[in-house]
Amino acid sequence: LFARPFLFTKGCVSIKDLPEPDRLEIAFAGRSNVGKSSLINALCGTSGLARTSNTPGRTQELNIFESQSEPLRIVDMPGYGYAKAPEPKVKAWTKLVHQYLTGRATLRRVYVLVDSRHGPKDNDLSVMNELDRAAVSYQVVLTKVDKPSATELEKVIALTKQAIAKRPAAHPDVIETSSEKNLGLGHLRSEIALLLAS
Ligand code: GTP
Ligand code: MG
């Protein structure tokens, strides 16, 4: 699936800028700085494909990545929550994210990234509520599992499973990842391969 490189094809500041809905899409959502862009890079095996930063609010557009060999589009998104950017800008991209998440016919699954040190926060739960309402399939991915201790991580996994247990559009499995240590990428890749096969 990731044998051939994914390349950046487009940055979209408006729904009108999106490419034709001619292939399956997966999107990465989550709070600012949770590690969305880093995970896309790790997944695709290309550092610097999606731009990352220590400063929350790095990704400000819907960034589209495509491969010549796969009928799959990967969408990196601006984060929600605190961002170091002017308020009108944050408002505009928040609206764009919500429009995309709930109104894109080709969006096959959203990976909702949650920091493994904190577990789901209120704004993560709101996004899950919205995806449940719109009947858009999603799966929770814990990020930065290299950071918490084993006991902390176990706690957060239990909390996360509890938070998704009764949610109609949530995948029951939680994927544990570290882009830094290349953990859980095989699991994530196989979930994506299943989507393509189904
Ligand atoms: P926005 O675009 O601002 O919403 O952020 P983002 O969710 O795309 O996060 P990004 O990938 O830019 O990463 C944010 C910071 O977290 C960067 O400093 C990364 O190096 C760091 N980071 C990402 N993944 C990991 C990880 O698995 N482990 C550790 N320790 N740090 C990580
Ligand atoms: Mg980003």
What CATH code is carried by the domain that includes residue 127?
3.40.50.300
Question: Of all atoms in ligand 1, which is nearest to the CA of residue 76?
Answer: 8
Q: Is the CB of 31 under 6 A from ligand 1?
A: no
- For 11-44, write each residue's pLDDT tens digit: 999 999 999 999 999 999 999 999 999 999 999 9
**Do 144 and 115 form a contact (C-beta atoms < 8 A)?**
yes
Residue 191 forms part of a structural domain: yes
In sequence order, the β-bridge partners of residue 80 are 31
Residue 160 within any structural domain of the chain: yes
| Contact status, residue 94 vs residue 60, Cβ threshold 8 Å | no
Question: So what's the pLDDT on residue 198?
Answer: 86
Tell me the ligand closest to 183's alpha carbon.
Answer: 1
Position 63 in a domain? yes
Instruction: Give the structural domain span for 184.
Output: 6-197
189 token code pair: 């890749």
Tens digits of residue pLDDT in 92-115: 999 999 999 999 999 999 999 999
pLDDT interval class at 181 (50, 70, 90): very high
HSE toward the beta carbon, residue 68, CA cutoff 13 A: 2
Q: Which residues pair with 76 in a beta bridge?
A: 28, 63
Q: How far is the CA of 28 from the centre of ligand 2 (A)?
A: 9
Alpha helices in the chain (DSSP H): 36-44, 87-103, 122-134, 150-164, 185-197
112 in helix, strand or coil? strand
For residue 81, is pLDDT > 90?
no
- Residue 191 tokens, joined: 């979930």
Atom in ligand 1 nearest the alpha carbon of residue 179:
27
Long-range contact set of residues 120-129: C-beta below 8 Å, sequence gap at least 24:
120/159, 120/160, 120/163, 121/31, 121/81, 123/31, 123/80, 123/81, 124/30, 124/31, 125/163, 127/29, 127/80, 127/101, 128/163, 128/164, 128/167, 128/169, 128/170
pLDDT tier at 145, thresholds 50, 70, 90: very high
3-state secondary structure of 47: coil
Nearest CA to ligand 1 atom 23: 35
- Inside any domain, residue 1: no
Here the tokens at position 53 are 């930063």
Predicted pLDDT of residue 82: 82
Which residue from 39, 179, 11, 26 is spatially nearest to 108, judged by alpha carbons? 26
pLDDT higher at 117 or 46: 117
Global ipTM: 0.99
- Pocket residue to mutate for ligand 1, from 28, 33, 185, most atoms within 8 A of Cβ: 33
Asked whether residue 54 is domain-assigned, the answer is yes
Report the separation in Å between the CA atom of 180 and the middle of ligand 1, taken as the mean of its atom positions: 9
How far apart (Å, rounded) are the C-alpha atoms in residues 8 and 46? 11
- Cα of 33 to ligand 1 centre, how many Å? 5
Which two tokens mark 175? 């994927």
How many domains does the chain contain in total?
A: 1
Q: pLDDT exceeding 70 applies to what percent of the chain?
A: 100
Query: Residue 76 domain-assigned?
Result: yes
- In short, whether 147's Cβ falls inside 6 Å of ligand 1 is yes
